[in-house]
Amino acid sequence: MHPVTQYKDPSGSVDDVLITAELASRPSRNPGYEAESRALGRLAQEMATNPGGVLQTCAELVMELCQADSAGISILEPGGTSGMLRWRAAAGGFAPNLHGTMPREASPCGTVMERNRVLLFHEAERFFPDLRGVEPRIYENLLAPWHVNGEAVGTLWAIKHSPEGKFDAEDARLLQSLARFAAAAFQMTSALDEAKESQEELQRRIEKGIQAEAALRASESRARLLLSELQHRVRNTLAVIRSIARRTAVTNETVEDYAMHLDGRIDAFARVQAAVTRDPTAGLDLELLVAEGLLAFGAQEGERVAGITGPEVRLKPKAAETIALVIHELATNAVKYGALSTDQGRITVGWSIDRMEDEPRLVVRWIETGVRLSGETPRRRGFGTELIERTLAYELNGKASLEFTPDGLHCIISLPVGEILAEQVLPR
């Protein structure tokens, strides 16, 4: 990298080098859903077999799909005035700059993160002097925001190094799709790395016989329990990813549906991983899980969601994974066919602890209203229906029923408390 100069041309504006609007008027190739599907499948496979290679693989796929001369991923780290962007992946002409850094305020990435949308720059060096003299020269730079926990913390970017090189609207769509998927994968692998580090540290302390309360917030038996749980999480997470990728491929008829559903399911699973790995024994709050699952579709309480109500319930990690995927599937169907497909539609989610069949059970009710179903009952079969009707029964000893009413969908899920609660204390 060249020396950082820390200045900008005061006479200009960043909008002078932004040409995003041109994407709408440029000739664009047809959507490459099949190529996108293959790319997402490759990322899913990389996540399952070599999590540390996900970012670099993503950069290489961007080069291939967008016919770019360079591609990479920049992620924000502490440092400087407003943070430093590190090139965590780089392919093509910019590959030698892998792991280099640039201040957030001196990079087009900072503008993309601030505006939180895909942007196309032309000769960005006219506003970002730190890019002057960078080789090979950047003519067009297409960037998509990179999100972790809903916050833009970096970018996925593609570059044309020749004046003739032009990006189109399909490039922008592909870049945004890959950014969503790979960011979810990164979030999950980061959680796995955190789990492994915690596991190794606990193992070292236990082996050395460190018993000090300050070193452990708990007894040696709790430390061993946490270690065992972390080991279990690391072993089984990749198996779940393989299962999601395999079953998504089987239950979707088009590559477009495959790409969309695989992206969403990995993202839902990653959110749970990031939460439970911080402390696997604490459990995951059901209310938070439901709210985040709906928020991922732009639905929040007080607007499209009429209510999210129920006693405080903390779920075991396995239960949290499965229920998060169930919520994702219900919300996906609501967007396509149900309450989130119409302005009048509303969703209510509630739960209670009921005593049924001589045992306490958690009963979750997903109610959609404001939907006018006509003709035959919708056939919502596939991974989502299988997950709701079969996986709940097999993995959590649960029961589920789906009923299509004249006003919408009612889904009732019943789960044994002993199988799912992180703490065996019933809510009052």
pLDDT at 43 over 60: yes
Using alpha carbons, select from 370, 356, 375, 372 the residue that is nearest to residue 414.
356
Q: Tokens 């392919």 label which residue?
A: 91
Provide CATH code, domain 283-428.
Answer: 3.30.565.10
106: DSSP letter: G
Q: What angle do CA 392, 398, 400 make, to 5 degrees?
A: 75
pLDDT band at residue 215 using 50, 70 and 90 as cut-offs: very low
Averaged over 196-209, what is the pLDDT? Answer: 64
pLDDT digits (tens, 9 = 90+) for 71-89: 999 999 999 889 999 999 9
Q: What is the pLDDT of residue 162?
A: 96
pLDDT band at residue 10 using 50, 70 and 90 as cut-offs: very low
Using alpha carbons, select from 224, 219, 169 the residue that is nearest to residue 26.
169
Q: What is the pLDDT of residue 148?
A: 81
pLDDT digits (tens, 9 = 90+) for 278-291: 666 678 899 999 99
Averaged over 110-122, what is the pLDDT? Answer: 96
Backbone angles phi, psi at 231, to 5 degrees: -60, -40
Return d(Cα 343, Cα 366) in angstroms, integer: 18
Contact 398, 416 (CB under 8 A): yes
pLDDT digits (tens, 9 = 90+) for 406-425: 888 899 999 999 888 886 44
pLDDT at 426 over 50: no
Which residues of the chain does CATH 3.30.565.10 include?
A: 283-428
Q: What is the pLDDT of residue 4?
A: 38
**Which range has the worst mean pLDDT, 251-255, 361-365, 410-414?**
251-255
Q: Tokens 């993160």 label which residue?
A: 113
Q: What is the pLDDT of residue 21?
A: 96
Distances (CA, A) of 261 to 40, 44, 266, 281: 11, 12, 9, 30
Return d(Cα 151, Cα 362) in angstroms, integer: 32
Largest distance between two CA atoms of the chain:
76
**Within 10 Å of residue 165's Cβ, how many Cβ atoms?**
14
Cβ-based neighbours of 401, under 8 Å, separated by 6 or more: 411, 412
pLDDT at 263 over 90: no
**Which range has the worst mean pLDDT, 16-20, 131-135, 164-168, 263-267?**
263-267
pLDDT digits (tens, 9 = 90+) for 50-68: 878 889 999 999 999 999 9
**Within 10 Å of residue 159's Cβ, how many Cβ atoms?**
27
Which residues of the chain does CATH 3.30.450.40 include?
A: 14-178
Q: Which fold has domain 14-178?
A: Beta-Lactamase (3.30.450)
Averaged over 351-378, what is the pLDDT? Answer: 80
- Distance between terminal CA atoms of the chain? 61
- Which pTM does this prediction carry? 0.62
pLDDT at 103 over 70: yes
**Within 10 Å of residue 9's Cβ, how many Cβ atoms?**
11
pLDDT at 382 over 50: yes
Using alpha carbons, select from 32, 86, 78, 96 the residue that is nearest to residue 55.
86
Handedness of CA 409, 410, 416, 417 (dihedral sign): positive
Q: What is the pLDDT of residue 118?
A: 96
Whole-number mean pLDDT of the chain? Answer: 81
Q: What is the pLDDT of residue 322?
A: 86
Averaged over 211-222, what is the pLDDT? Answer: 52
Q: What is the pLDDT of residue 202?
A: 61
Percent of the chain with pLDDT over 70: 74
Across the strands, what pairs with 414? 363, 399
**Which range has the worst mean pLDDT, 25-29, 40-44, 264-268, 410-414?**
264-268
